[in-house]
Amino acid sequence: MIEITEHKIDVPTLIAAVSHDGAGATDVFIGTTRNKTSEKAVVKLDFEAYEPMAVKELQKIVDRAKEQWPILKYAISHRVGVVEIGEEAVVIAVSTPHRQAAFESCQFIIDELKKTVPIWKKEIFEDGDVWVASHP
């Protein structure tokens, strides 16, 4: 399951989605909005996605992960729109027979997501905003 959503992510739903009788391990990564970046106070985040391509790129990442690890089930949800402090911006759940594969594949997915998936994060401060990572 891969989704880009404007709604709050329901983590238990994603965990339930990766339930599998052959699973001994599930790793769940939750990326939340921090209250600061480099000591500057962040009020909220605003995410934008090129949705159809984002879903395709996420699927490619999952396909590459499946070549490397015995993934039983996976669930990925990424928010778009305004995400308040403490809310989930992204949740990735992966179930595997054993734990090492769960940790490694989950980390692989979030690492690759940050490299190639067309989603953009704007940090909103009291006195302005910035598109994250745009400039060197």
Partner 1 sequence: MSEIQIKVVAFGIARDIIGGRELNLKLKSGSKAQEAMHLLKSQYPAFEQLSTLNLAINEEYVDDNHVIIEGDELVLIPPVSGG
Which residues of this chain interact with a second copy, rule CB under 8 A? Answer: 11-12, 15, 19-36, 85-86, 95, 97, 99, 102-103, 106-107, 110
Q: How far is the CB of 109 from partner 1 (least distance, A)?
A: 10
C-alpha to C-alpha distance for 103 and 120, rounded to whole angstroms: 25
The three-point CA angle 54-60-110 to 5° equals 70
No. of helices (H) and no. of strands (E), the chain: 3, 10
Q: How far is the CB of 10 from partner 1 (least distance, A)?
A: 18
| The two structure tokens encoding residue 8 | 């709050």
C-alpha of 103 from chain center: 14
C-alpha to C-alpha distance for 59 and 132, rounded to whole angstroms: 24
Among 2, 15, 28, 56, binds partner 1 (CB under 8 A): 56
132 binds partner 1 (CB under 8 A): yes
Interface stretch with partner 1, choices 7-15, 36-44, 46-54, 66-74 (CB under 8 A): 46-54
Closest CA to 3 of 70, 92, 66, 87: 92
13 binds, among partner 1, a second copy, none (CB under 5 to 8 A by kind): none
65 binds partner 1 (CB under 8 A): no
Element (H, E) at 83: strand 81-84
56 vs 64 by CB, closer to partner 1: 56
118 binds partner 1 (CB under 8 A): yes
126 vs 135 by CB, closer to partner 1: 135
